[in-house]
Amino acid sequence: MRIKITADSTSDIPQALCREWGIDLLPLYVVRDGQALKDGLEITPDDIYAHVSAGGDMVSTAAVSVSDYMGYFQPILEEYDAIVHINIGANFSACHQNCLLAAEELPGKVFPVDSRSLSTGSGLLALEAAALAREGKAPEEIAAAVSARRDKVDISFVLETLTYLYKGGRCSGVAALGANLLHLRPCIEVVDGAMGVGRKYRGSMKKCWEQYIRDRLADKDSVDPARLFITDSGIAPGEHEAIRDMALAQIPFREVYFTRAGCVISSHCGPNTMGIIFFRK
């Protein structure tokens, strides 16, 4: 069987890896001033930052519709026997539910997977799915294997500011002001398919990143050293290599990838956010 692996744009997989593994990405929507724009195609994170900095309203995001999924899957199925599609976690978006409805119209052809994650947490699962497809696994096997491993994804980010979460209505003004005045950098982590606040760091971003990386990789025996994503929403040039070196000093990951978060993730966390994402054993 010819199996195609697809994922939402929120998976933030670098284009080079998409090409290498034959993964296609379907964009979600970013709504700016009432206009729905395709994530990464019609709007970029820097466009959002410029819009907000200029006094514009905070953008919102919208899921892929059932009809969008149908229009996306049908041409692929003219060339492939089946599709395994990795969705942003069902707790974060209606994408997975809409994808399930589209799959019902294409019985036995589309196998949606709720990643219970976001950003490169979903991306890790899409790469796993692509590797299994390359091994010749059936779509049912791929979906089941990826679903079985999704709770092993360790995904978290350190935010420089709560301003974007506040403007998006996801935290109170008091919390945002207090954190910003105290220079607190909260760690947002995904656990059991939901976001929560982990440790709070204080000081310069470099100092916070160092402590954050030590904390996330402290239990060395539980970390799968195969692959690490360093995902950011726009950090200063030259910071990536320093972050990579911090991580490799803790765990000798065999593959390390840098990737820029797309509009959906960036619109909630704001610039200068960074996270390390990997599998646990």
Q: What residue ranges do the domains of the chain occupy? A: 3-149, 153-280
pLDDT digits (tens, 9 = 90+) for 97-118: 999 999 999 999 999 999 999 9
Q: What is the pLDDT of residue 238?
A: 87
Percentage of the chain lying above the pLDDT 70 cut: 93
Task: Please tell us whether the domain made up of 153-280 is placed in CATH 3.30.1180.10.
Answer: yes
- Is 204 in a helix, a strand, or coil? coil
Q: What is the pLDDT of residue 160?
A: 87
Tokens of 147: 């679903």
Q: Which residues of the chain have pLDDT under 70?
A: 165-183
Residue from 81, 79, 107, 110 nearest 96 by CA: 110
Q: What is the pLDDT of residue 154?
A: 97
Note the CATH architecture for domain 3-149: 3-Layer(aba) Sandwich (3.40)
Q: What is the pLDDT of residue 242?
A: 95
pLDDT digits (tens, 9 = 90+) for 200-241: 898 888 999 999 999 999 999 999 999 999 999 999 988 999
CA torsion sign, 96 to 102 to 104 to 110?
A: negative
Burial 32-54 (b: 16+ CB within 10 A, else e): beeeebbbbeebbbeebbebbee
